[in-house]
Each structure stands twice: as structure tokens, then as C-alpha cells.
Amino acid sequence: MSKKSLTFLQFDSPWIFDPGTVRLPSPPTGLTTEEASRRLKEGQLAQPYILETDSERRLHFTHCSIQSVMNLDAPDALITPYTRKMMAFLLFNPQPKSIVMVGLGGGSLAKFCYRHLRKTQITVVEIDARVVALRDEFSVPVDDARFRIVCDDGAYYISQLSDPVDVILVDAFDPIGLAPTLAGSDFYLQAAQRLSPRGVLVMNFSGDTNRYATHIRGIRAAFGRSTRLVPVASDDNLLLFAFGRRVPQPTTARYESRAQRLQTRFELEFPRYLRRICQGYTLTRTHAAPKD
């Protein structure tokens, strides 16, 4: 879907308690606003769309499946708590040379990293061309020497890499939950093999919890006990941190000092993230990790 061919059908939100303006990209020929509104409300439109208010712009797959939130006055800000906590990879590799992101959404993490990590090569892999086509609507940077978006399957892309990667961020979903293509391949083994020695993989878990088990089995097989599971209570998300080598022991003065420096630089709560990661559990444990 090219930028030139992208048009929108616009109408008021059909949800009384979630007002705003719906913008449906490249709608089917002949679809009226009334019919689009009805289909959307009944969950019969299987395509990404935008819901916009005076202050924010959201990317949805369904009404219950919000993929990204952008503050219109601060488009590069990280709005949702789970995206802010995913930046905790900087505690373990504060100057990554390379980041591969699997899943674009509205580009929240991509924009933040592009703005703040100016010496880092950033590649975003997104399987859905319809999502990539909305990049301008969410102020995602244009491709340049240190940033690019690749429309491809994330598992395949990772398997083709020859150089090690410092950070892999996985935030890949369909309308129901975690992208099943990742669990249905050797993605996690490939990712573990391609992480640099100080590399970190951070994955967001959300949506249908029945999908978690197959992903967790794959991660456990690839990383063993080199993992930490950390909840994000305010988002009802779980974050999985997996490491290229054994799990670092971030209970030292060195990590605490680094967390303070990162907090000053990025205005994110790195000392709290550090505490939560220290309190997190490996995937071999059965009881729940402490909440925020």
C-alpha cells in the first residue's frame, strides 16, 4: 500500500464512552460511513484504523486491541507504561550499536529510540503493509542512514541476520494477541543466537493469555534461565527480559548509579525499573512476580 494510494473514510466514534473521530484507511469501495461505523462497532472490520481525539491519536486493530497511543503535542513521547519500561534494556547495554524491533504499531519505541539514541542503527520489521502505510500518521521518521522499516516477517528477518544484534525488542500482535508466527517457528532460538554477548531481548506479552504458553516454551528452550519476567500492572502487560549470556546481577552500586544517570537523561523511572527487574522471576518459576 503506497503512500499515494492511502485515503481515509472519516466518521464519529460509534462508542458513546470512547468518543473521537475514526479514520479508516483505504476503505473498501462503496463503503458508506454508516455501514463502516456499524461494522466497526460489531467487530466486522478486519483492518487497522485510527481513533483520534483533540489530544491523542491511537492505532487500533479492534476496539479492544489498542496497538499504539500518540500524544499529538508530543509525538515522540512514550505514553503507555509498558513502552517506557521496555527501555530498561539500557540498564544492561546503555550504548547499543544496533536495535532490531519486531512490530511497528504506531512506532512509539521506534520514534523514542531514534530521537534519543543517535549512534544506534535501528531496524523495524513489520509484517503488515497496512500498518507500515500509516507511518506518516504517527510521525514515524523517514528511512535514513541509521533508521529503516522493513516490511517482512520478523522471524524470517532475524534468521537471515549475519551480524550480532545488541537489542531485540518484540512488540508484535494481531487483533487477538501475541503474533502466532513467532511461536510457530524457531524465532526465539534464532534471536538467542544472534544477540551479542551483552545483548538483551525485551518482549511485551498482552492480549489472549492462552497464547502465552507456546511462546514461553520457545523462550525457555532458547534462553534457559537467562530471563526475567516483569509485570506492568497499570497496563496489564508482562515484559520478558532475556539475555545473551547469563542474567546480570543488577543489585550493585554500578547498576544503581547507571539507573540514576539514565533517569536524568531520559526522564524515565530507571531506578524503579531496576528494582522490578531484580524482583522478577525466571520462566522456570511458577509463582507470580511482584507488581508495580
- CA 202/CA 166 separation, integer angstroms: 11
For residue 130, the SS3 value is helix
Question: Which of 75-107 are b and which e, b meaning 16 or more Cβ less than 10 Å from the residue's Cβ?
Answer: bbbbebebbbbbbbbbbbbeebebbbbbbbbbb
Active site residue 171: yes
Backbone angles phi, psi at 26, to 5 degrees: 45, 60
Q: Tell me the DSSP string of 33-91.
A: HHHHHHHHHTT---S-EEEE-SSEEEEEEETTEEEEEEETTBTTS--SHHHHHHGGGGG
187 φ, ψ (degrees, to nearest 5): -55, -45
The rounded distance, in Å, linking the Cα atoms of 131 and 62 is 13
Strands 98-102, 121-126: parallel, antiparallel or unpaired by DSSP? parallel
Number of C-beta neighbours around residue 53 at 10 A:
13
Q: What is the DSSP letter of 161?
A: -
Catalytic residue among 163, 171, 236, 292: 171
Q: How many CB atoms lie within 10 A of CB 51?
A: 21
Which amino acids are annotated catalytic? 171
